[in-house]
Structure 1
């Protein structure tokens, strides 16, 4: 179920946010030009995009993520989840949009945040398999658009350029390389 998948992923991301020390927010992340804080800000912003509104902000990223998470979970647990929303990929239900965008973002950006702050970078195997299948099913022309900065709006880059990893590398590493992260680079 989509709401349950989101709940588990949001819980894992929240745990990573909660584990960031105050002196780590400015650490560079694997996302070009983003700090650990900017990764979390992006996730919060994307929650607002899913809901068609801005998420109120404080000076505490954990508080802000919890509020964003609460609002999205509330929508997923209501009739609103099955309502149609307009997306760059065409109309779909709100729950499908959350599942295909922000829920997947929680996994990939969770890895980014973990890498930036020296946390456990292990992605649950079912998430790795699901994201691998999803990423590999994207047609080449759309994947090129995903890799083009600004193709979906100013400052938006869905995936970076592919990073080559050995063909026999673990699936998590192959996934990360495919979406533009270097899993073999040194952690913080």
Structure 2
């Protein structure tokens, strides 16, 4: 439990630093995620925090919306998830998820915690920040995604398979086999590693 919480906290710290570095005029800038602005990336992450809380009967605490204050919205959402992870009864609660039955803590670890470095890359690329993902997070994500059965990977690429408007991965972007692991990971989940702001 402590390990899951520590990893989540490290990733949330890194994502929060990127949110804090966005200039006000950059929030409407496009991101590597088709149809998403920089603000939309943060909104997705905050929304996914709510999804993590729902199976244990919790929700996001009252806070400014992402439209009002992206940084305050993310800080409030992460505090809610950290409170869940620090409560053994809630963290160990078994819940049904699209990937099967698991504890709430494991759900956080496999979904929103794993998403933070990847969407941190999206936000960094959208706003001209340093976009190198922590090598350990790259390795863990690569092992997780590259090890998925083909049918599940295809489901992750199918818009709406996990609910209206939800698309977990985009179509794979071809990347040279000798490319850095970060680039190969990004290509596998449907990102163009060479994406540049317009």
- Fold agreement, TM-score > 0.5: yes
- After superposition, what is the alpha-carbon deviation per residue over 1:112-131, rounded to whole angstroms, capped at 9, x for unaligned? 00000000000011000000
Give how far 1:187 is off: 4.2
Distance 1:26 1:55, change over 3 A: farther
Partner of 2:42: 40
Using the TM superposition, give the Cα deviation of residue 185 of structure 1 relative to its aligned residue in structure 2, in angstroms.
2.4
CA distance in structure 1 between the aligned counterparts of 2:112 and 2:25, rounded to whole angstroms: 27
Asked if residue 132 in structure 1 is aligned to residue 142 in structure 2, the reply is: yes
> SS in structure 2 opposite 1:86?
strand
8 Å Cα contact 2:60/2:80 also seen in 1: no
2:130 is aligned to 120
2:100 counterpart residue number: 90
* Distance across 2 between alignment mates of 1:121 and 1:151: 29
- Cα distance between partner residues in 2 of 1:10 and 1:184: 25
Q: 1:78 aligns with which of 87, 90, 109?
A: 87
Q: Secondary structure at the match of 2:145?
A: helix
Task: Report how far residue 82 of structure 1 moved.
Answer: 1.1
Partners of 2:60 and 2:12 in 1: CA distance: 18
Give the Cα–Cα distance (whole angstroms) in 2 for the partners of residues 148 and 54 of structure 1.
28
TM-score using structure 1 length: 0.97
Separation of aligned partners in 1, 2:164 and 2:63: 21
* Structure 1 unaligned blocks of 5 or more: none
Moved over 4 A (4+): none
**How far apart, in 1, do the equivalents of 2:33 and 2:115 lie?**
12
CA RMSD between the two structures? 1.1
TM-score computed with the length of structure 2 as normaliser:
0.92
Checking the alignment, whether the CA contact within 8 Å between 1:50 and 1:97 is kept in structure 2 is yes
Q: What is the SS of the residue equivalent to 2:97?
A: coil
Determine helix, strand or coil for the equivalent of 1:17: helix
1:80-121 residue CA offsets vs partner (Å, 9 max, x unmatched) = 111112211221101100000000110110000000000000
Tell me the alpha carbon deviations over residues 54-74 of structure 1, each in whole angstroms, 9 at most, x when there is no partner: 454411110010000001011
Q: Structure 1 residues 173 and 22 mapped into 2: Cα distance closer, same or farther (>3 Å)?
A: same
The 2-side partners of 1:170 and 1:17 are apart by: 26
Match of 1:142 among 152, 155, 158: 152
Contact 2:173 2:188 in 1 (8 A): yes
Query: Which residue of the partner structure matches residue 170 of structure 1?
Result: 180
Q: 8 Å contact 2:61–2:76 — kept in the other structure?
A: yes
